[in-house]
Amino acid sequence: MVEVIPAILEKTLEEIHEKVKRIRPYTKMIQLDVMDGAFVPNETFRNPWQLRDLPVTMEVHLMIERPVLFVNSWALPNVQRLIVHYEAVDNMEHLIQHIRQTGKKVGIAINPSTSTFELKPYINDIDLVVVMGVDPGFSGQSFQYDVLEKIKEVKKLRPDVLVEVDGGVNADNRDDIVAAGCDILAAASFLWKSEDLGAALAQLRG
């Protein structure tokens, strides 16, 4: 069964708490999307100190410029892994080492326009590759099917690395994504807009 992680991208602490409350009966893991309005054309809540007691385990997806400056502040006790964008990093080797020093797992995300070739120097030093199914920034976009090849390419580079697909994931495309080799589905609008959150999660899990 594929793992499904609900993604939360909200502008206020209250909205984050409300979604965590809704999802907790079904899962204890979320993805928190952190956007700065610079790397992506959208902004979300960005105060880690106020999230340290959030009653879930998180992967934090840093869709921000110069993420190296914010690694320590986001390495909260309830955070399992930190995801940074290849496109936002000048010295990836240094950043991977920095994240490791916090005790967190390391994920690298690549945009649809970024070649998996760029991951080759780092593929053995990370825990997770996030293949973006949309251009990052906004929930509700249509999935770009050509990224399915990226999943296969990443698995060829390193078969045992976890591959997560984030963006545009829904019940119609989940089978194609999983068949390509995906281990984790991150979903936002499909889940949050559903009338039955538990049933929507079950659909994606398969």
Give me 126's structure tokens: 């990370």
Using alpha carbons, select from 197, 184, 188, 145 the residue that is nearest to residue 33.
Answer: 188
* C-alpha span between 165 and 178 (Å, rounded): 9
Q: Which pTM value belongs to this model? A: 0.96
What is the average per-residue pLDDT within 20-43?
Answer: 96
| pLDDT tens by residue, 91-111 | 999 999 999 999 999 999 999
How confident is residue 138, by pLDDT bands cut at 50, 70 and 90?
Answer: confident
pLDDT at 153: 98
Using alpha carbons, select from 83, 82, 86, 23 the residue that is nearest to residue 56.
Answer: 23
* C-alpha span between 88 and 110 (Å, rounded): 10
| pLDDT tens by residue, 109-132 | 999 999 999 999 999 999 999 999
How confident is residue 139, by pLDDT bands cut at 50, 70 and 90?
Answer: confident
Give me 8's structure tokens: 């939360």
| pLDDT tens by residue, 106-115 | 999 999 999 9
**Residue in the block written with tokens 């955070």:** 79
CATH class of segment(s) 3-205: alpha beta
* C-alpha span between 174 and 190 (Å, rounded): 11
| Active site positions, annotated | 33, 166
Given a cut of 80, whether residue 140 has pLDDT beyond it is: no
Given a cut of 80, whether residue 163 has pLDDT beyond it is: yes
Q: How many other C-beta atoms lie within 10 A of the C-beta of residue 5?
A: 23
**Domain residue extents for the chain:** 3-205
Using alpha carbons, select from 54, 22, 39 the residue that is nearest to residue 191.
Answer: 22
